[in-house]
Amino acid sequence: MDSMEAGLHTPELDDAARRGELVDPFGRAITYLRVSVTDRCDFRCVYCMAENMSFLPKAEILTLEELDRLCSSFVARGVRKLRLTGGEPLVRRGVMTLVHSLSRHLASGGLDELTLTTNGSQLAKYAGELAAAGVRRVNVSLDTLDAEKFRDITRWGSLDQVLSGIDAAQAVGLKIKINAVALKGVNDDEFPSLIEWAHGRGMDLTLIEVMPLGEIGDSARIDQYLPLSIVRARLANRFTLEDLDYRSGGPARYVRVAETGGRLGFITPLTHNFCESCNRVRVTCTGTLYMCLGQEDAADLRKPLRASEANDLLFAAIDEAISRKPKGHDFIIDRRHRRPALARHMSVTGG
């Protein structure tokens, strides 16, 4: 049995139990961890990456064993939901080894959900294995059903490949939520057809407001920004939108579309009103823990991970970081300077 199959050792579990669950200074329990397993991607979406991205050297990236140890430490401290993201999580070499290994926490009841956010390009290849490992739902990012537009937005992606991935995932029983970034003048005419398509296939759809993260090259973000309040008002002219109480603990608000019976979400990260219920933290593929998507403050977990085989240094670093989780974020799209409010890319923190 290799180290990943061996799982958690009892002394570490004892230590975790002694330290208890992760609760931040505002009384919010941290039960949801999003982990970026790679900064690399086979697409170059215009709002996410520049075409010529330079990626991190391998030595800086956590190994699969380190990722497993890190995730397992959070699970031992009360995290119930784990989302793998990226970059594109399914292009990380050996990612399925990690998924299989982490699935032991589903079997043990330590974890309620193991899921991932993907661009769908590799889903046809991995859907069966994901389902077999206990993954029940995946989020697939898809902004348009127009092949040419899809190529323009993703630069390198193929719509057909993603649609085949979605077919394969549904065929093995994975539930899919589609995430679409709302882009002014690009896909805003398509939301009704995206709603009908997604709901017609039994998939929820969530629209995401563009966030000011990272330098992305020529396409100034301010030109892409489309407030979802406007989108919602336009959709309300066409559909009956019924407010739902359903909350994910994150920045999404949901409505039921009466005509389709499906659920539609709006993620408006530029508003503050979800921060009070925030239950999540994010780790990058280099082991940097971000306590808030919209703040620069971070903690290095790679150093304690690599400093000792036992987890006490790691737990101490996590505790210290959670004690600094801020109350909320402070996003702005700076209209004067046209610069991102935060320099890091979404592909680093994984969204």
Q: Are 209 and 238 in contact (CB under 8 A)?
A: no
Q: Which is nearer to ligand SAM, 47 or 239 (CB)?
A: 47
Altogether, the residues listed in the chain come to a count of 351
> Distance of CA 153 to CAs 87, 92, 145, 159, 224, Å?
16, 22, 11, 11, 11
Looking up tokens 């009070």 gives 276
Q: CA dihedral defined by 302, 278, 48, 168, rounded to 10 degrees?
A: 90
Interface of this chain with ligand SF4, residues 127 to 156, rule: CB under 6 A: 141
Residue 210 touches which of ligand SAM, ligand SF4, none (Cβ within 5-8 Å per kind) = ligand SAM
- Binding of ligand SF4 by 44 (CB under 6 A): yes
Q: Which of 41, 203, 207, 305 binds ligand SF4 (CB under 6 A)?
A: 41
Binding-residue pattern over the window 27 to 56 for ligand SAM, x denoting contact by CB under 6 A: --------------x-----xx--------
Binding-residue pattern over the window 141 to 180 for ligand SAM, x denoting contact by CB under 6 A: x-------------------------------------x-
Closest CA to 212 of 38, 52, 345: 345
Residues 6+ apart with CB under 8 A from 167: 124
Q: Which is nearer to ligand SF4, 45 or 180 (CB)?
A: 45
DSSP 235-277: HHHHS-EEE-----SSSEEEEEETTT--EEEEE-TTSSTTGGG
DSSP secondary structure letter of residue 208: E
Nearest distance in Å: CB 112, ligand SF4: 25
Strand pairing report for 263-267 and 280-283: unpaired
Binding region for ligand SAM (CB under 6 A) out of 1-9, 66-74, 115-123, 322-330: 115-123
Q: Are 102 and 71 in contact (CB under 8 A)?
A: yes
CA dihedral over 147, 150, 155, 158, signed as positive or negative: negative
Q: Which of 117, 144, 268, 279 binds ligand SAM (CB under 6 A)?
A: 117
Q: Which is nearer to ligand SAM, 47 or 315 (CB)?
A: 47
Q: Which is nearer to ligand SAM, 255 or 346 (CB)?
A: 346
Binding-residue pattern over the window 243 to 282 for ligand SAM, x denoting contact by CB under 6 A: ----------------------------------------
Residue 211 touches which of ligand SF4, ligand SAM, none (Cβ within 5-8 Å per kind) = ligand SAM
β-bridge partners, 101: none
- The SS3 assignment for 230 reads helix
Residue 268 touches which of ligand SF4, ligand SAM, none (Cβ within 5-8 Å per kind) = none
Q: Which of 210, 241, 264, 292 binds ligand SAM (CB under 6 A)?
A: 210
Q: In angstroms, rounded to a whole number, what is the distance separating the alpha carbons of residues 208 and 49?
A: 17
Q: Which of 16, 45, 62, 205 binds ligand SF4 (CB under 6 A)?
A: 45
- Binding of ligand SF4 by 282 (CB under 6 A): no
Q: Which two tokens stand for residue 336?
A: 């004067």
Q: Which residues contribute to the site for ligand SF4 (CB under 6 A)?
A: 41, 43-45, 48-49, 86-88, 119, 141, 347
Q: Which residues contribute to the site for ligand SAM (CB under 6 A)?
A: 41, 47-48, 85-86, 88, 117-119, 141, 179, 181, 208, 210-211, 213, 346-347, 350-351
